[in-house]
Structure formats: structure tokens, C-alpha cells
Amino acid sequence: MLNTISIYPINNMPPLSLTLLLKIKETLISIEKLLAASSLLALLALSLSQVIMRNIFEIGFSDIDTIARHLVLFITFMGAALVSEGNQHIKIDCVTSVINDTKKQRLKVPLLLISAFICAIFFYYALQFWLDEKSYAQDNEQLALYLALILPFGFFTLSLHFLLLSLTQSPNEQPL
């Protein structure tokens, strides 16, 4: 029989708080996948319909271009959250190539917390920007105004992902 060391205290079962955090992560990932996929499909459908309407019927709707621009942001933010969850995001870090795995593992949680903090700052300023835009938006810009909520929402989602990743790390996960 193999001697294995469990990271969980009793009967190899995670504590209730960790189970709850993992459930929140799974739910968040499912919602993001749904939003990313539906945004991509909507972007394709709207772009195709706009091209057909302009070339065949010689009409077009300017709001479709606005919606398409914001759908690109939806896809980008949801994709960024999903790849950061899977530790597949672009890492611009020259230090990790010269330090050993144990030091990488020790640095992982602080770096995730720093990333969560930076995204939280971006969320705050994106929300302030949106609130400022809301106070000055004209009636004909209301659609773009509410679609622009993706900026604070996206940064909040990224911040939440980094925070949840830092709280649910296990010792056997892949280092940085």
C-alpha cells in the first residue's frame, strides 16, 4: 500500500469553506463559458447580417457596429478569465525561468493576490469612468453606455478569479 499524504485534515475530504469556494469557481467558469460562446455566436450572426444587409439590400444599422465592438470586449474578458483560471495565460516574467520550483510555488499565491489587487483597482476606475459616462450620456448613446458595463464587470471577474485561485491553491498544482 502506498503511503500518501493528504492535504485535507479528515478522511481526505476538503473543508466546507474550500468546497464552497470550489463550487463558486465552477459556477463562475460555467457562466463565463456560456457568455463567451453566446457572445461569439451573436457577434458572428450580427456581423454576417450587417454585411448581407449592406451589400444586398443597401441598408444597415449603426447600432449593430456598436454592439459588435462591445461583444468583442465580452469575448476578450471572458476568455481572459477562463485562461487565467486554467493557468494558461500569457506570463511576461523573466524571473520564473531562473528560480527553482519550490520558490515558484512560494511566489504563486502572493503574485495571484497582487494580480487580484491590480484588477480590483482597474475595476474601481472602470466603474468610476462608467458612472461619469452615464451622467453625460445622450439619449441616443444609451445602448453603448450599458454595453460598456463590460469593462468594470470584466475587471471584477478577473479580480475574483485571481482571488479564488489564491485561496484554493493545493500543493500539487502546477507552479507558475
Reported as a single tens digit per residue, the pLDDT across 75-131 is 999 999 888 877 666 666 676 677 888 887 888 888 889 999 999 999 999 999 999
pLDDT beyond 80 at 174 = no
The arithmetic mean of pLDDT across residues 141-152, rounded, is: 91
In this predicted model, what pLDDT tens digit does every residue of 16-66 receive, in sequence order? Answer: 788 888 888 889 889 999 999 999 999 999 999 999 998 888 888 888 888
**Which among 76, 75, 82 has a CA at the least distance from the CA of 29?**
82
Residue range(s) defining the domain that contains residue 132: 17-88+98-167
Q: Residue 170: pLDDT band by 50, 70, 90 thresholds?
A: low
> What does the buried/exposed string (b/e) look like for 107-132 if buried means 16 or more CB atoms within 10 Å of the residue's CB?
bbeebbeebbeebbebbeebbeebee
Q: Residue 1: pLDDT band by 50, 70, 90 thresholds?
A: very low
Secondary structure of residue 10 in the 3-state scheme: strand
pLDDT beyond 70 at 13 = no
Q: Is residue 173 part of a domain?
A: no
Q: Is residue 126 part of a domain?
A: yes
Q: Is residue 9 part of a domain?
A: no
The number of distinct structural domains making up the chain is 1
**Residue 10 has what pLDDT?**
44
Beta bridge partners of 13: 10
pTM of this structure: 0.79
Q: How far is CA 91 from CA 9, 51, 138, 161, in A?
A: 33, 37, 40, 16
**Residue 167 has what pLDDT?**
86
**Residue 92 has what pLDDT?**
66
Q: Is residue 77 part of a domain?
A: yes
**Residue 108 has what pLDDT?**
84
Q: Is residue 11 part of a domain?
A: no
pLDDT beyond 70 at 6 = no
Q: Is residue 174 part of a domain?
A: no
**Residue 11 has what pLDDT?**
45
Q: Is residue 63 part of a domain?
A: yes
Q: Is residue 172 part of a domain?
A: no
